[in-house]
A = this chain, B = another copy of it.
Amino acid sequence: MTPASAPAASTAEAGGRVLDHPALDEIRIEGVLHALSDPMRLRIVRELAAAEGELTCSRFELPVSKSTSTHHFRVLRESGIIQQIYRGTAKMNGLRRDDLEALFPGLLDSVLGAANRQVRRVGEDR
């Protein structure tokens, strides 16, 4: 399975280390909502949206262990919310904005808006 929006060139770049991503028609609203229902994952998505580009995993200073962090990124990838691509030795993370917008118009923006408002209202997530 290849990520719908990952450029084919990434395979060569990665020397074959390509991570599984759901194709567009495999992404389900239940999985997306589940992935977004965790405070740490929601925080990752908010930071990726604010960055408006790819970020390495190490750019996120999450108050959780490395293995928990890796788990959260995997849940986000397997649900179709982010793509993870090796560029050299760095694993880069990016939102699949266009794919999500095509499937669920307005959903990501309304979740991001709600999450950002909540942070202003009750403070940062744990």
Point out residues on A near B: beta carbons under 8 Å. Answer: 25, 28-31, 33-34, 36-39, 42, 103-107, 109-111, 113-115, 117-118, 121-122, 125
A106, B104: Cβ atoms closer than 8 Å: no
Give the residues in chain B near A110, CB-CB below 8 Å: 104-107, 109-111
Bound Cα distance A110, B30 (Å)? 13
Query: Are A107's CB and B111's CB within 8 A?
Result: yes
Stoichiometry, copies per complex: 2
**In whole angstroms, what is the CA distance A10 to B125 when docked?**
35
Q: Say whether B34 contacts A30, CB under 8 Å.
A: no
On whether the beta carbons of B33 and A111 are closer than 8 Å, the reply is yes
Task: Give Cα distance in the complex from A84 to B38, angstroms.
Answer: 26
Cα separation A122 to B36 with both chains bound (whole Å): 22
Which residues of chain B have C-beta atoms less than 8 A from A117's C-beta? 103-104
Cα-based distance from A110 to B39 in the complex (angstroms): 20
Asked if B39 and A37 make an inter-chain contact with CB atoms under 8 angstroms apart, the answer reads: no
Are B118 and A29 touching (Cβ within 8 A)?
yes
Residue from A29, A38, A106, A117 having most chain B Cβ neighbours under 10 A: A29
Interchain nearest-CB distance for A38 vs B (Å) = 7
